[in-house]
Amino acid sequence: MSAIDMTMTSLLARYRANELTPRGLIADLLADAAARGFDPAWITRLSREQLEPYLARLDAIDPQSLPLYGIPFAIKDNIDLANVPTTAGSPVYAYTPNESAFVVRQLIEAGAIPMGKTNLDQFATGLVGERALDIYGVPGNAFDAERIPGGSSSGSAVTTAQGQVSFALGTDTAGSGRVPACFNNLFGVKPTLGLLSTAGVVPACATLDTISLFTLSADDAAAVLDVAGQYDPECAWSRRHDFAVAGQAYGEMLKRFRFGVPPESQWHTDAAYSVGMRQAIAQLEALGGVRFELDCTPLLAAARLLYEGPWVAERYHAVRELIESQPDTLHPATRQVIEGGGAPKAVDAFDARYKLAELKRQADALLAQVDVMLAPTTVEHPTKAEVAAEPIAVNSRVGTWTNFMNLLDYSALAVPTGFTDAGLPFGVTLFGPAFDDLSLLSLGRALERRLVLPLGATSIARPQLPALPPAKDGTLELVVCGAHLAGLPLNHQLTSRGGVRVASTRSSPNYRLYALAGGPPARPAMVRDDANGAAIEVEVWRLPIDTIGSFLAGIPAPLGLGQVELENGEWQCGFICTAGALEAGGPAEDVTHFGGWRGWIASQQ
């Protein structure tokens, strides 16, 4: 096991303090690799000579100038690294690319050092990590060699958990970036489809594939995602998204949030994982989350489509030439799964697409009720012997809560949350709509700070997390005090924009409330008065930030949006009025003594 803290935050701090150099770190990692000898977590480990160009480049660069300066990482062996064979777990399929995958190039340009290519379930088909050929060996779980490591990104998870690298790239089509994270006490980022380019990735299901990230901490995951998540104009599946423009930012989580959780009857978890789920729910509630139990039938039904429907034909398409000419070169379980992809007809594909569209409509309505969803990452942690006895059935159970994510175009984050009584890691998955990636990471960070688990499979204590600026989730909280209150005439302007009431509270005791002349409807004006003010009843509504422009455009003079102080000392965006507004169109009536707009309305009736 690594004897040093391999989080990026720690390594970068040491580099910048001149306590460590990339050459020194890589020398130690190579010595550790030599001591390990044959390691089935790797298919190809780069030699000192192969690493030299990356190190030589960093010799002349200031550690402060690159966000991933000197950070060692691993690459799942279905992702291209220039001049190193890409096997996808099959020596017959292997080829040597001249150019690295787009994401790999971004990471190297940012200063990261590729240490090699990691083992996987052949052709990324599987969630168990047991479908590798004998020539490569099969990794053991980082905590218990008799347990499965999870797949298909088995080697990427194990090498990160053991501290051989700081982070690793995997891929995720049906859970391959989340299940191994759960089994090895890691963060597993399953990005929004298209956020990370798949150029230079051997496809499994091209319409559903994404590169995934394995990291030791949420901060590391956010830093890697920031570098890797660039739009690739040469990739047909790449999607353009600017988090800052969308009002999204990673940071300290919101103080108020609603989380959905399936009823326990739908978990399908074994006894140990059921205990872990209850504990995770309690931790989210302790962070200020309000739990909503939601029937997740549409999600589970969508999950079954992935392998029971025609999408397996995409896997067949990816290796069609090989499976038709040399089927015996495939792992038996891999062959059994992929061969079925040759059977579906075109009409089956359309039938499934229509069914998925209906399920997505239902699932999106489910997610709209909460800020984030919580589910088990997987339902159990099988032994290698259990997988050998039932290779297909166990794999299917493991994917119960992962298979639907990409089909439904959701973002997801596997978060480590504890250990079972057997000493094995347990984790949950936070998920939400597309491009909620930073919000999930922010909540994952809050759990990380609260739980303080060891780093991966090492005994190294997790470092204390520094304070960050507040997270931004693409919404704006708006303080309303009059006709926009729930049930009043203008409230529809909020609800029609997807607004959700998050608090009924009061302003600080520094305001006077007036009823302006004119109407209908009658309009209030809150005016700051530090000398003679009072607390006014208000509501806080949360709106998608991209709807604020049309809302602002509809606000009539003399009202506008500005900053309003609440009784807890927070300043929030809310209604204000311009100077001289109290006399415009006739004198305004001071209604402060009613305590709020509803009190004044009641007095009029």
Which whole-number Å values give the CA distances from 438 to 190, 253, 535, 601, in the listed order?
Answer: 12, 10, 35, 42
Rounded distance, CA 68 to CA 463, Å? 19
Residue 176 a catalytic site member: yes
Q: Kindly list the strands in the beta sheet with 500-506, ordered across the sheet, starting from the edge strand earlier in the chain.
A: 500-506, 537-544, 475-480, 571-577, 559-565
Catalytic residue of the set 2, 10, 90, 152 = 152
Q: What is the DSSP string of 480-545?
A: E-STTSTTSTTTHHHHTTT-EEEEEEEB-S-EEEEEPSS-SSP-EEEEE-TTT-B--EEEEEEEEG
The answer to whether 245 and 413 have CB atoms below 8 angstroms apart is: no
> Rounded distance, CA 473 to CA 454, Å?
28
Specify the pairing of strand 72-76 against strand 113-118: parallel
Q: How far apart are CA 483 and CA 215, in angstroms?
A: 48
144: nearest Cα among 381, 378, 376, 377: 381
Give the residue from 490, 479, 502 showing the smallest Cα distance to 574: 479
197 tagged catalytic: no
Q: Residue 173: CA atoms inside 13 Å, Cβ hemisphere, count?
A: 25
Question: CB–CB of 359/302 below 8 Å?
Answer: yes
Q: Is 384 tagged catalytic? A: no
Q: Which of 153, 176, 197, 411 is catalytic?
A: 176
Quick one: 412 exposed, middle or buried, by C-beta within 10 A (0-12, 13-18, 19+)? Answer: buried
Q: Which residue from 178, 231, 226, 215 is spatially nearest to 72, judged by alpha carbons? A: 215
Please check whether residue 230 is in contact with residue 243, taking contact to mean a CB–CB distance below 8 angstroms: no
The total of other beta-carbon atoms located within 10 Å of residue 255's CB is 12
Name the strand (E) or helix (H) holding 37: none
3-state secondary structure at position 588: coil
Q: Do residues 253 and 442 make contact, with C-beta atoms less than 8 angstroms apart?
A: yes
Q: How far, in Å, CA of 492 to CA of 513, rounded? A: 23
- Find the catalytic residue in 76, 117, 360, 384: 76
d(CA 207, CA 209): 6
| Among 154, 156, 88, 94, residue whose Cα is nearest residue 122 | 88
Kindly list the catalytic residues: 76, 152, 176
